[in-house]
Amino acid sequence: MGDRKKMNLEEDRLSSLPDDLIHDILSFVSIKLAVKTSVLSSRWRYIWTSMPCLNFSSKGFHTLPKFSKFVKHILSGRNNQIEVSSVELISRGKVVQPCVKRILSYAFSHNVEQMNITFLPEKKIEFPLSF
């Protein structure tokens, strides 16, 4: 227990960075992980809601409808006043049109500057060793 107390007394440098720098750091991870940081402390609770950079990836979701639901929650939970600077979407498997449409219309209505969309095949494609 003594150890824990000592550790908590250490200065938390990451949390003391200004919001925009934390956003920059979180732009290097997926939005899912960025949202996860909200459990850290009250300082982190709403940081993700004002991120200008949104990186969606269907990786880590068992089904695409689940991913779709996640996207819906993110876009409705995000601070609507903050513009979007860049959007990335990586999706594996069949395209869920309403989901992509939702992301695109949200991005365009928030003056997106940069967009990157990648669709990967459902199964890995094996190339023959020689033709």
Angstrom distance (rounded) from CA 81 to CA 6:
40
Choosing from 31, 37, 67, 99, the residue that interacts with another protein (CB under 8 A) is 37
Burial grade of 56 (CB within 10 A; 0-12, 13-18, 19 or more)? buried
Q: Is residue 14 close enough to count as binding another protein by CB under 8 A?
A: yes
CB of 33 to another protein, least distance (A): 7
- Sequence-distant (≥ 6) Cβ neighbours of residue 121 within 8 angstroms: 92, 93
CA 71-37-28 angle, to 5 degrees, is 70
Per CB under 8 A, does 2 bind another protein?
Answer: no
Smaller CB separation from another protein, 8 or 111? 8
Q: Does 27 bind another protein (CB under 8 A)?
A: yes
Q: Pull the structure tokens for residue 102.
A: 């939702």
Does position 10 interact with another protein (CB under 8 A)? The reply is: yes
Kindly state whether residue 11 participates in binding another protein, applying the rule CB under 8 A: yes
* By CB under 8 A, residue 26 contacts another protein: yes
